[in-house]
Amino acid sequence: MDHMRNWLLATIATPLIGAVLLCALGNLGRNVARWLALAVTVVTLILAGVVVVNFPADGANADQYAVTDVAWLSAQSGLDIHFSIGLDGLGVFLFGLSALLMFTSVLVSWEAIQDRAPLFYTMLLALEFGCLGVFAARDIMLFYIFFEFTLIPLFFLIGIWGSEDRRYAAIKFFIFTFAGSVLTFLGLLAIVLWHAQQNGLNYLTFSIPELTASLQQAPLPFVWQYWIFLALFAGFAIKVPLFPLHTWLPLAHTQAPTAGSVILAGILLKIGTYGFARFSIPMLPAATVHFMPWILGLSVAGIIYGALVALAQKDIKRLVAYSSVSHLGYSMLGMFALNSIGFMGGTLQMINHGLSTGGLFAIVGMIYERYHTREIASFGGLAWRLPILSFFMLVLTLSSIGLPGLNGFAGEILVLLGMFQRAFAESPPQWLAPLQVLSVLAVSGVVLGAWYMLYLIQRVFFSELREPSQQHADHRPVTDMNLREIAAVLPLVVFCVWIGLAPDSLRQRMEPTLLKITAATEQPLADRYTEETEITASALGATEEEKLSRVR
């Protein structure tokens, strides 16, 4: 397995090399740029495929997989920063997903991007480099560098190639995300420094596995966990985005070019949930347990709010954007149920959402390319005109609303199972009622999700054929999906079906890593449980006594 590290390094380096190459060959025009970009993403995809396929099938020793660890700053200088990458069960599929969605992104931009194409593909490849790096980083500093690095290309992708309101959207996106991530960084810094101080190290270590292990041995004091959790929450919750911090997302999605939306929904939002799973939960378990009911509440609020707002949208892309808010709510719900089933579901849901929503955005982009509008009311019966496109749209929709047999079902059922287990079987008496209400409300999201998506399908693809009048100057006769477009979406659909039919192949690979993460919260949960039970018991006892005295 040792040679896998080279494959991993090559996977991450390829897009960067491609971006530099594209930048240097900038004057060669659109055609060269897009073919080169395609070649780079295909190579990256193949390399990433090899890395993912070779991941140990039982997930054992996952944290040793494909690890490269080179000292960047030496410990003598006080900062022990490593260039350390590797994949474990949490990151491996998100890593693969990133490579896959980039391939889709290049293909959907093929015709759509006319203006300054070389720069566009440079940005796209730079973004791919950042995304791949984030999920592979094993050092906090490296993670943060990749994390922030993803902002710059997307800022330009939205701001230069977006729709009318793109500048405002780009700035809002950047400021929201960056503002949160500064706090996140200060929080991570506090963890690092506390660890060094506590262990009497004369250097700061940034290694994620080392910090995780050490913080589980000797947890931070609760006050510190509390504040650091809030600091991390600021960055990750904005990124997810968790209700009520989601306001930047619909705007960014609607204004971004199709490729930008695909990547934003498919990959970048996952960095938020990934951050919670990688840092907040294992490193700050006590605070996680403390905040658990609140985050569950916010997740459910997001699920329902996103769904209701999606129902009212007039623009297809906005509708899909709000559905993201709702779906990511599920992911958070599952993770913060803090049991193994829910956590598995939440993680699976991250991948599912990337596949289905990424695909949906790609298809919405294809519709927009054909008709230059995304207004739901101006469409009808597109299935007559565009049967293949409608087929893919329908499959992705069904996957997104969780039809059994497709990937969405596997994720959602696990999330809900986890949540119900937390609410009905594992919760202290005081939380019982609110959590049960939340879990029931969460189910309503499934219904709402089916409603808004199927309502969309019914209006746009079925009923009578109605097409927008084509007053656009360069209009061409509307044709169905061509091979390029099919190639962009087909892999996503294949994976949707595969995960739907054989979710176990993913579960086995992820489980050991995920179990380790949830194990961290077991002790604080148990503490909390007994504490709450005692309080309730003593409260009950007191009332009993009162009653008795009253009787006397």
Q: Which of 77, 114, 469, 471 binds other proteins (CB under 8 A)?
A: 77
Enumerate residues 269-288 that contact other proteins by CB under 8 A.
Answer: none
Shortest distance in whole angstroms from residue 36 CB to other proteins: 18
Residue whose CB is less far from other proteins, 42 or 145: 145
Whole-number Å distance between alpha carbons of 260 and 249: 12
Under the binding rule (CB under 8 A), the answer on residue 48 touching other proteins is no
136 binds other proteins (CB under 8 A): no
Please report how close the Cβ of residue 197 comes to other proteins at its closest, in angstroms: 5
Distance in Å, CB of 186 to other proteins, minimum: 5
CB of 329 to other proteins, least distance (A): 26
**Least separation, in Å, of the C-beta of 72 and other proteins?**
6
First to last CA, the chain: 76
Return the structure tokens found at 365.
């982009």
* Residues 231, 232, 233, 236, Cα dihedral to 10°: 140
Q: Label residues 134-151 b or e (16+ Cβ within 10 Å = b).
A: bbbbbbbbbbbebbbbbb
CA pair distance 206, 191, nearest whole angstrom: 9
The nearer residue to other proteins, 174 or 371, going by C-beta atoms, is 174
Instruction: Find the angle CA(117)-CA(252)-CA(266) to the nearest 5 degrees.
Output: 80
What's the distance, CA 9 to chain centroid? 23
The DSSP letter of residue 220 is P
Collapsing DSSP to helix, strand or coil, 71 comes out as: strand
CA distance 62 to 217: 20
Strand order in the sheet with 68-73: 68-73, 79-85, 204-205
Q: Pick between residue 155 and residue 409 the one whose CB is nearest to other proteins.
A: 155
Nearer to other proteins, 126 or 367 (CB): 126
Task: Establish if 388 lies at the interface with other proteins (CB under 8 A).
Answer: no
Q: Taking CB under 8 A as the rule, does residue 178 contact other proteins?
A: yes
Scanning 256-385, the segments in alpha helix (DSSP H) are 258-263, 269-275, 281-283, 285-311, 316-336, 340-371, 382-385
Q: Which of 159, 306, 402, 503 binds other proteins (CB under 8 A)?
A: 159
Query: Which phi and psi (to 5°) does residue 477 adopt?
Result: -60, 135
Residue 182 contacts other proteins per CB under 8 A: yes
Contacting range for other proteins; rule: CB under 8 A; set: 194-202, 373-381, 415-423, 494-502: 194-202
Which region among 145-153, 278-286, 329-337, 527-535 touches other proteins (by CB under 8 A)? 145-153
202 near other proteins (CB under 8 A) = yes
304, 441 Cβ separation under 8 angstroms: yes
- As a whole number of angstroms, the distance between CA 365 and CA 467 comes to 16
Helices 166-198 and 222-239: crossing angle, nearest 10°?
160
Stretch that binds other proteins, among 190-198, 237-245, 280-288, 345-353 (CB under 8 A): 190-198
Half-sphere exposure of 476 (CA within 13 A, CB side): 6
Q: With binding defined as CB under 8 A, does residue 81 bind other proteins?
A: yes
Which of 204, 251, 269, 457 lies at the binding interface for other proteins (CB under 8 A)?
204
User: How far is 19 from 125, CA to CA, in rounded Å?
Assistant: 5
Shortest Å distance, C-beta 295 to other proteins: 23
d(CA 169, CA 158): 7
Q: Select from 62-70, 167-175, 256-264, 379-387 the region that touches other proteins (CB under 8 A).
A: 167-175
Considering Cα of 106, then 111, then 117, then 123, what sign does the dihedral take?
negative
Task: Give the interface segment with other proteins, choosing from 45-53, 146-154, 237-245, 475-483 (CB under 8 A).
Answer: 146-154
Ranges of H-type helices in 372-502: 382-385, 387-401, 407-420, 429-461, 483-501
Find the part of the chain contacting other proteins (CB under 8 A) among 37-45, 184-192, 337-345, 469-477. 184-192
Closest distance to other proteins from the beta carbon of 487 (Å): 31
Interaction between residue 194 and other proteins (CB under 8 A): yes
3-state secondary structure of 528: helix
Comparison of 113 and 320: residue with beta carbon closer to other proteins: 113
Q: Is 144 in the site for other proteins (CB under 8 A)?
A: yes
How far is the C-alpha of 333 from the C-alpha of 437, rounded, in Å?
A: 14
Query: CB-wise, 7 or 83, nearer to other proteins?
Result: 83
Q: Which of 6, 61, 64, 74 binds other proteins (CB under 8 A)?
A: 74
Stretch that binds other proteins, among 71-79, 249-257, 271-279, 483-491 (CB under 8 A): 71-79
Give the residues lining the site for other proteins (CB under 8 A).
Answer: 72-74, 76-79, 81, 119, 144-145, 148-149, 151-152, 155-156, 159-160, 166-167, 170-171, 174-175, 178-179, 182-183, 185-186, 189-190, 193-194, 197, 202, 204
